[in-house]
Amino acid sequence: MKRVVLSDHARWEAGRRELTEDMILSVATKPEQTENVRPGREVRQSRVVFPPDSKTYLVRAVVELGDDEDVIVTVYRTSKISKYWRAP
């Protein structure tokens, strides 16, 4: 399995959006769903429960695919799960 790393921009966005690095890496390495955006780029997403109110959000990581490693270019969470979630 290739290594997955965060870009400086993704790290900054994660801090701004109160997402932990562990959470982002978990979504990027073991996503519930993956969507190809264009050649060499995909969105990996998972539903995550956030404290303190136990609300479920969709955490989406935009990943640039590389030969040696995959780079998370940005990350965000959204409450609009049905907008992005694909039924099996």
Nearest to 62 by CA among 54, 52, 70, 72: 72
User: Looking at residue 19, what is its pLDDT?
Assistant: 96
Domain limits at 53? 3-84
User: Looking at residue 72, what is its pLDDT?
Assistant: 98
User: Looking at residue 88, what is its pLDDT?
Assistant: 72
Q: Give the number of domains in the chain.
A: 1
DSSP at 31: -
Is the pLDDT score of 87 beyond 90? no
What tens digit of pLDDT does each residue of 15-65 get?
A: 999 999 999 999 999 999 999 999 999 999 999 999 888 999 999 999 999
Listed in sequence order, the residues at least 6 apart from 2 whose beta carbon sits closer than 8 Å to its beta carbon are 66, 68, 69, 70
CATH of the domain at 27: 3.30.2310
The residue assigned the tokens 């640039």 is: 64
